[in-house]
Amino acid sequence: MASMAGRTGVYLNFLFWIALAAVGTYLIWPMKDRPRKGIDLVGGFYITLKVATDEAVKSELMHTMQGLIHDLREHDIADPSSHKIEGNAIILQFKTSEESNQAFQAIRARNYATLMAHHEGERVRLSLPDTVVDAIKENAVEGNVDVLHKRLNELGVAEIPVSRQGRDNIIVELPSIDNPTEAKELIGKNSHLEIKEVEASGATEDDLLDKYDGILPEGLMIVSEDNGRGGSPTYYLVPDYTDLTGRDLKSASLGKGAHLEAVVYFEFNNEGTHKFSELTKKQRGRQIAMIVDGKVISAPVANDHIKGGSGYIQGNFTEETAKNLATMLRSGAFSASMSFEEERRIGPSLGAESIKQGLMSCLIGLGLLVLFSMYYYRVSGFLAFLALIYNLLLILFFMYWLNATLTLPGIAGMVLTVGMAIDASVLIYERIKESLADGLTFKRAVDVGFSDAMVVILDGNITTFIVGIVLYKFGTGPIQGFAITMMLGIIATLLTGLFFLRALFNLALVGFNLEKISI
């Protein structure tokens, strides 16, 4: 009875592995585009971008300067008669030394840690230390890399290699994409959202200036409407500074408006919700301008005090343009603009040849291994070969499941995995032979061989897996592709070497009641 129960368990164990192989094959076989292939296998676009890091420093200084002037007004301190960015410093010019001293003391009281303040007669000079300038430039490049990752992934070309090169260059690889023009447009756009109260509006700039005797009031600016339908745009008078921007967004998505038109829904984080609530309270019954990249997309009227932190941007959108705008707002604005330094198209012919050679190397390796295994280990060698085939199937299944990208170095990782997998079988078989030489029965020798070899196999594979983690964490593009296939191969090797191969032996010895297998 116990023998029957043990035999049933062996059958069920083996059927589990067969079912897993069947499911994996069923999922992988019809997916001709899986696993996704890297640019070195299918061709694509190789783009080098240069980040204007000096612009990031200027933008940071401009944002700080607008915030400073806004704070001075809040404390009833006179506006500077002029203000400008000079190198890595903000220059605030006042009418008298008394006004400049008041401003200097107020600024020092606010404790702007990143700025070094100097009082020079009628002006206040606020400069950034070199260490802060270097940090801003560094963060600008890293920030742009992060934004590109988010944008390109949402475009439907996930796992696009985006890596830094040198001090201010970024490399983007776009393999096998249907619309490279759309991808380049997303790469090049900034899409910075600002929400401001509208002081006045008019058909022309002169209409707005006439209300102020031709002189634009301090702290205000004129922006025009983004009129996609043609015709004359509307002009709006808005503050030159707002602290409610895309930085406060929590999410943005494509949606439908009241008349089923395409709109962009947005939701602020906690801080943004408070700012938005205060703005709608202040502007109740008046317009609020939704400004993207310096153009007014929409200017709805705040009919009531909105206490929540959500709303939508309504403009002349198609579903595609609304979706792209939502993607760009959600991914964030670039810290600095970028220029296209180089663009190279890589044809698929190189990739086809690489795939052919890679597959040929795998087939040759498998052929040599099966000959070696069966010559040296007889029937047990054939079982090891079956485990090896199962190993490769598991790797493909894992890559399909994780939506990983296969690159030429990744194929090299698979070839390396073949060697590591057969190495695990060799360790097990040699330990079985030692046990047989010690006089143990074949079944007992198999038990000892698998249990004793497990420690050595785990030790060797875990240390290699740690190396793979380091390569993936600090490597880029091809190195990451190699690391992924190597780590997946290690997992597959452990599963097939320690469990599937053991199931094959149990099926032969228990299921078919064999006394021994040639080894």
Check whether residue 71 and residue 18 sit in a common domain: no
Check whether residue 120 and residue 229 sit in a common domain: no
Check whether residue 257 and residue 374 sit in a common domain: no
How far, in Å, CA of 328 to CA of 70, rounded?
A: 28
- CA atoms 352, 353, 354, 356: torsion sign: positive
CATH number, domain containing residue 466: 1.20.1640.10
Check whether residue 304 and residue 364 sit in a common domain: no
Helix (H) or strand (E) holding 175: strand 169-175
Check whether residue 373 and residue 483 sit in a common domain: yes
Select from 310, 325, 358 the last residue of a domain.
Answer: 310
pLDDT score of 1: 42
Check whether residue 94 and residue 227 sit in a common domain: no
Chain centre to alpha carbon of residue 310: 25
Q: Which residues contact 453 (CB under 8 A, 6 or more apart)?
A: 424, 427, 428, 431
Check whether residue 362 and residue 488 sit in a common domain: yes
Region at 269 (left for phi over 0; alpha for psi -120 to 50; beta for the rest): beta
User: How many other C-beta atoms are found inside a 10 Å radius of the C-beta of residue 48?
Assistant: 17
Residue 20, domain member (yes or no): yes
Residue 388, domain member (yes or no): yes
Cis peptide preceding 30, ω within 30 of 0 = no
Q: How far is CA 513 from CA 7, 133, 452, 519, in A?
A: 9, 76, 24, 17
Select from 258, 283, 310 the last residue of a domain.
Answer: 310
How far, in Å, CA of 282 to CA of 303, rounded?
A: 11
Please list the pLDDT of the chain residue by residue as tens digits (519 residues).
446 556 677 767 767 777 777 766 666 655 555 666 777 777 777 788 888 888 888 878 877 887 777 777 777 777 787 788 888 888 888 888 888 888 888 877 776 667 788 888 888 888 888 888 888 888 888 888 877 877 776 544 445 778 888 888 888 877 766 566 766 765 766 667 788 888 888 888 888 888 777 777 777 888 888 765 556 788 888 888 787 777 777 777 788 876 777 877 778 788 888 888 888 888 888 888 888 777 887 787 777 777 777 777 676 677 777 777 777 666 666 767 788 888 777 766 555 676 677 678 777 877 887 888 888 888 888 888 888 888 888 888 888 777 777 777 877 788 788 778 888 888 888 988 998 888 888 888 888 888 888 888 888 888 889 998 998 887 766 777 788 888 988 998 888 888 888 888 888 887 777 788 888
Check whether residue 360 and residue 500 sit in a common domain: yes
Residue 165, domain member (yes or no): no
Residue 177, domain member (yes or no): no
The position carrying tokens 């579903």 is 319
Contact 316, 234 (CB under 8 A): no
How far, in Å, CA of 128 to CA of 134, rounded?
A: 10
How far, in Å, CA of 517 to CA of 519, rounded?
A: 6
CATH number, domain containing residue 85: 3.30.1360.40
Number of H helices, E strands in the chain: 14, 19
Residue 90, domain member (yes or no): yes
Among 176, 144, 177, 180, residue whose Cα is nearest residue 162: 144
Give the pairing type, strands 193-197 and 220-224. unpaired
Contact 338, 202 (CB under 8 A): no
Q: How far apart are the first and last CA of the chain?
A: 30
Check whether residue 80 and residue 207 sit in a common domain: no
The alpha-carbon radius of gyration of the chain (Å, integer) is 33
pLDDT score of 235: 87
Check whether residue 212 and residue 293 sit in a common domain: yes
Check whether residue 490 and residue 355 sit in a common domain: yes
pLDDT score of 340: 81
Region at 86 (left for phi over 0; alpha for psi -120 to 50; beta for the rest): beta
Question: Domain of 496?
Answer: 2-43+348-511
Q: Is 19 exposed, middle or buried (0-12, 13-18, 19+ CB in 10 A)?
A: exposed
Total structural domains in the chain?
Answer: 3
Check whether residue 364 and residue 503 sit in a common domain: yes
How far, in Å, CA of 340 to CA of 46, rounded?
A: 11
Helices (H), 305-440: 319-331, 348-402, 408-437
How far, in Å, CA of 53 to CA of 217, rounded?
A: 32
Within 13 Å, how many C-alpha atoms sit on residue 241's CB side?
16
How far, in Å, CA of 117 to CA of 105, rounded?
A: 10
